[in-house]
Structure 1
Amino acid sequence: MSHRIVVLYYSRHGSTRALARQIARGINAISGCEALLRTVPDIPPSAEPPSDPYLTYDELKDCDGLAMGSPVWFGNMAAPLKHFWDASTPLWISGALIDKPACVFTSSSSLHGGQETTLQTMQLPLQHHGMLIVGIPYSEPALHTTQSGGTPYGASHFATVAGQLSTEEKTLAQQLGQRLASLSMRLNPAVKH
């Protein structure tokens, strides 16, 4: 039996997927927790198979926590993720996600390309679902020294080369995953899976 933490992401060129994998490493480092890497379909649908399975609403309903990531698209989350949340009304009506911890992460191709606005706007549907938002506290030393990605709102990556994370970006993503998993266990010590 383990706490299942969904790591949901959409990635166009691999950078957001690389962050998702580091967050999953952080989650899996906490004894009793398991990261489920999931993605969403392209809009319009792509002919290429996804790198990870598509998230189902049943998996989301049954998760013990959520990490959600998107590349920066005009300072907001990518349309495929927005589409996924727009269809989540049945979970909202039932209150299935209330009091579950959640965090967000992003990547951009320019340093000031909208990372913080994307992280903040990704939090909005999660808050409407009653989820508890987890950030990165300044007690994490890498947050003070990073020269690329990483914010108190969530993990981030400045994609100078797609998918090649800096040491600080990897550290911050793993720490965010560990924090999310630890809080999940504290909030719901009775595992149901």
Structure 2
Amino acid sequence: MAVEKSVKILVVYYSLYGHTLQLAQAVAEGAKSVSNVEVMLRRVEEFEVVKQKAIDGNDAAQKIWEQQQDIRVCSLDDLRAANGVVFGSPTRFGNMSAQIKQLFDSMTKLWLNGEMEGKPAGVFTSTASTHGGQETTLLTMMVPLLHLGMIVMGVPYSVDGMIHNEARGGTPYGPTTIAGGQGELEPKPEDLAIAKALGKRIAEVTVKLQ
């Protein structure tokens, strides 16, 4: 009897103050809840100038930096090996961070060889304020995924907590959370639940496609 091969879901993110890290961990937890799924949690490489000017000497950022050192930096081989991928980034003026953009910019060989085509993919983000660019960030993060030939997935309104009028995250384009102007807020339980739902959904669809 043949041994069933596990499906690999890659969750790759950038986080300076820990909010997208928490969403990434929730996405990974959701994916792990699906049978026969192996989850790879990866961070993107930090820019040295950010390390020197924004992290060193900032107690809050330094603490988050230290928490992430056991998480491996994402490589092209991780992207190749993954059967499905979820990308996470904080918002920078309504767009993804430069660190995540650098990862996309490094994927030229994968694009040329069609190595990401047909793989389910999703995105998630955090913003300082309620209208800080959550939807524009998620939508623009989807553009490289379409160029790579990936199958872009979001969060349907059938997921609990998606329909609300509270000051918290949750969009059909992907999970979100509000960090606060000084990063003082924590993701709401509902935000993390939606992140888990996306991870589970992408894992389930990836298993079916495999």
- TM norm structure 2: 0.85
Runs of 4+ in 1 over 3 A off after TM superposition: 45-51, 160-163
Moved more, 10-19 or 30-39: 30-39
SS at match of 2:34: coil
Cα distance change, pair 183–163 in 1 and its aligned pair in 2 (3 A): farther
Of residues 96, 112, 115 in structure 2, which corresponds to 1:96?
Answer: 115
Of residues 36, 42, 49 in structure 2, which corresponds to 1:38?
Answer: 42
Instruction: Indicate the RMSD between aligned Cα atoms, in angstroms.
Output: 1.6
Of residues 4, 8, 21 in structure 1, which corresponds to 2:12?
Answer: 8
Aligned positions of 1:43-58 closer than 5 A: 43-44=47-48, 46=51, 50-51=68-69, 52-58=71-77
Match of 1:169 in 2: 191
CA distance in 2, matches of 1:105, 1:184: 18
Moved more, 98-107 or 155-164: 155-164
Match of 1:152 in 2: 172
CA distance in 2, matches of 1:101, 1:163: 31
**Aligned-pair distance for 1:170?**
1.2
CA distance in 1, matches of 2:165, 2:41: 26
CA distance in 2, matches of 1:89, 1:29: 32
SS at match of 1:139: coil
CA distance in 1, matches of 2:38, 2:136: 29
Cα distance change, pair 26–145 in 1 and its aligned pair in 2 (3 A): same
Match of 2:155 in 1: 136
CA distance in 1, matches of 2:207, 2:165: 29
Q: Structure 2 counterpart of 1:2, which letter?
A: S
CA distance in 1, matches of 2:41, 2:147: 23
Cα distance change, pair 139–38 in 1 and its aligned pair in 2 (3 A): same
Indicate yes or no: 2:88 matched with 1:69: yes
CA distance in 1, matches of 2:198, 2:133: 20
Aligned positions of 1:11-30 closer than 5 A: 11-30=15-34
SS at match of 1:25: helix
CA distance in 2, matches of 1:54, 1:184: 23
CA contact (8 A) 2:45 2:74 kept: no
- Note the alpha carbon deviations across 1:129-164, whole angstroms, 9 max, x for none: 000001001111310136200100000011135572
Q: Structure 2 counterpart of 1:106, which letter?
A: T
CA contact (8 A) 1:146 1:168 kept: no
- TM norm structure 1: 0.92
Q: Structure 2 counterpart of 1:136, which letter?
A: V
- Larger radius of gyration between Structure 1 and Structure 2: 2
CA contact (8 A) 2:43 2:74 kept: yes
Cα distance change, pair 176–146 in 1 and its aligned pair in 2 (3 A): farther
Match of 2:200 in 1: 178
